[in-house]
Structure 1
Amino acid sequence: LGNTVGVIQRASLHTYLFFHQGYVADDIPDRIPLDVQEAALVFKPNTRFSLVNDKSWSFMVASKEGFLRLGPNGRPFATSFNHQLHCVNAVRFDYTVARDGLVTDEKELKAKLGHINHCFQFLRQSILCKADNTLVPLEKYNGSIVLNGFGGPPHRCRDWAQIRHFVENN
């Protein structure tokens, strides 16, 4: 609890300092005013996030679709974190729509593909930006050597729950 109070106090101070800047025209901060703590995460399968579970996936994107307002004029922003979640969810959703043949209108399909292309580009660059160097174990599967993306050592991550909390409260 003491650590949580300290984190909240730091976030409040940063928020106060951050909000008293203008953020107009080209005056754009590079990140939210929050000292995000490190967290360890062991990757494991999670059936809750199947391709067809829209409810679980929509929960992952913060309320207000991950948008927040900063500065005295309430300038709108989004975090890359929320944009990444939006893109993963959009790729998932549009994949299932295409797989099941639910979009037949060529104009609508073109629009979806344009958005998904944007998302693939954004996700590729986001992955390159973070460049997680955690080792992934190799395993034998049906006589082949395959990468097992689950288990293995913990990944050193940032505490996404802190970011989500900040976004939801701004």
Structure 2
Amino acid sequence: MGLDDSSPIPNRTSSRTRTGAVIIQVIVTFTIALTLGLITGQRLSINKWDGLLLPQGNIKTIWEHNLTFSQRPTPESEAAWNSIIPVGRGFIHHPEIAPFISNIAVFHQLHCLHAILVAYYAAVEESDVAKGIQRPDNYLQQTGTRMAPSHIRHCFDYLRQTLMCAADTNMEVLDPETHTTSGWGQDKRCRDYDEVVMWAEKWANSTDTGIVT
């Protein structure tokens, strides 16, 4: 029994062509999918960073240097510090958010900053009095706001961790002449501090006023 001469002979060239076409199609499809994946991943990455670097809050403002909060303590400057602290000094009791008496962190942070300011001017005064440059500052002596060194050390690291936790991502443009930035005179986006104060007073645990000293 032999082969039928009329039987078709397989076309090896055609088979190889079809196989090659399939391989090319797979490669093209894989390349397109990979490219789209990279583009999508890049977009997701960009969106992730955009969200990460978006400043918190929706209040637009411009910061200006307020000397009242950086000068030597006086009755006027202490009144200014007291004015930014809510009734209750930030200590609250809320049935869900704070079932145990708690302090809203920003007011603890302001307390620490104020403590460092007073400690700084107390050290300057002590040095100047020792050198005979000035007489003792009676008001600074009377305020009773001098903190123990251990308290100030606590505030240094507490504020460091506070800054890193909040990670303010507002952009500050460099001065073209000094190549530095003071932060003043630039657009900022912030939380509504007045709203935070109002909420703190609504749930205040006491009627105490003024910055904690």
TM range (shorter): 0.5 to 0.7
Task: Tell me the residue number matched to 2:60.
Answer: 40
Question: Any conservation in 1 of the 2:57–2:189 contact (CA below 8 Å)?
Answer: no
Q: How far off is 1:74 after superposition? A: 6.6
Task: Check whether the contact 1:66–1:168 (CA below 8 A) recurs between aligned residues.
Answer: yes
Residue number in structure 2 paired with 1:157 = 190
The residue number in structure 1 matching 2:211 is none
Partner of 2:70: 50
Which residue matches 2:4? none
Q: Comparing both structures, which one devotes a greater share of its residues to strand?
A: 1
Determine if contact 1:41/1:157 at 8 Å carries over to the other structure: yes
- The residue aligned with 1:112 is 148
Unmatched 5+ residue regions in structure 2? 1-55, 127-135, 141-145, 204-213
CA positional deviation for 1:48: 3.0
Paired residue type of 2:68: R
Deviation sequence 1:30-51 (CA, Å, 0-9, x none): xxxxxx9621221111133232
Find the residue that maps to 2:88 and give its secondary structure.
Answer: helix
1:61 corresponds to: 85
Q: Is the 8 A contact 1:138 1:145 kept in 2?
A: yes
Partner of 2:200: 167
The answer to whether structure 1 residue 80 and structure 2 residue 105 are counterparts is yes
Q: How far off its partner does 1:167 sit?
A: 0.8
Moved over 4 A (4+): none
Q: Alignment identity in percent?
A: 26
1:93-115 Cα shifts (integer Å, max 9, x gaps): 12112221279xxxxx8x62111
Q: Which residue of the partner structure matches residue 148 of structure 1?
A: 182
**1:66 and 1:100 mapped to 2: Cα distance?**
31
User: Structure 1 residue 140: deviation in Å?
Assistant: 5.7
Structure 1 residue runs without a partner (length 5+): 1-35, 104-108
Q: Write the distance in 1 (CA, Å) between the matches of 2:64 and 2:189.
A: 15
SS of match in other structure, 1:64: coil
Larger Rg: 2
Q: TM-score, normalised by structure 1?
A: 0.63
Q: Distance in 2 between matches of 1:40 and 1:151?
A: 12
- Call closer, same or farther: CA 1:160–1:138 in 2, change over 3 Å: same
Q: Measure, in 2, the Cα distance between the counterparts of 1:89 and 1:148.
A: 20
User: Does 1 or 2 have the higher relative contact order (CA < 8 Å, sep 6+)?
Assistant: 2
CA RMSD of aligned residues (A): 3.0
Q: Counterpart of 1:30?
A: none
